[in-house]
Structure 1
Amino acid sequence: MNRRKKINQLLKAHAKKASAKLAPRSKPKYICKADRLKMAEQAALEADPAPQA
């Protein structure tokens, strides 16, 4: 492989990685199990507030 082809190959690879970073994400961000439970508790409290009398 000659020098020019090798350099072009590296430049293309770097450009591809850079454009992939800028592309929108298709997967939602991971939320740990403990945080999911906290969010579920908060949603349950907001949706059904029990009267405290």
Structure 2
Amino acid sequence: MNRRKKLNQILKANAKKASAKLAPKSKDKYISKADRAKLEAEGGQETVVSSES
């Protein structure tokens, strides 16, 4: 009984991991604080340039 239970447990775990890989990702990719500041600075420059034109 124990051997069969352990094998089923391993197979279920592997199936769960495989289905999790195929599932769509709900979270966005992590962007570090420095990168966010850099993107914000670039975005700020674009708005300044467009308002001057």
**TM band (smaller chain):** 0.7 to 0.9
Cα deviation, 1:16-49, whole Å, max 9, x if unaligned, reads 0121122111111111000000000111111221
Query: Hey, what does 1:4 align to over in structure 2?
Result: 4
Q: What's the counterpart of residue 40 of structure 2?
A: 40
Question: Residues of 1 paired with 2:25 and 2:47: CA distance?
Answer: 30
- The ranges of structure 1 where at least 4 consecutive aligned residues each deviate by more than 6 angstroms after the TM superposition are none
What is the percent sequence identity of the aligned residues?
63
**Equivalent position SS for 2:27:** coil
Equivalent residue letter for 2:13: A
Instruction: Give the RMSD, CA atoms, in angstroms.
Output: 1.7
TM alignment of 1:10-49, pairs within 5 A: 10-49=10-49
TM-score by length of 2: 0.76
Identify unmatched segments of 5+ residues in structure 1.
Answer: none
- The unaligned stretches of length 5 or more in structure 2 are none
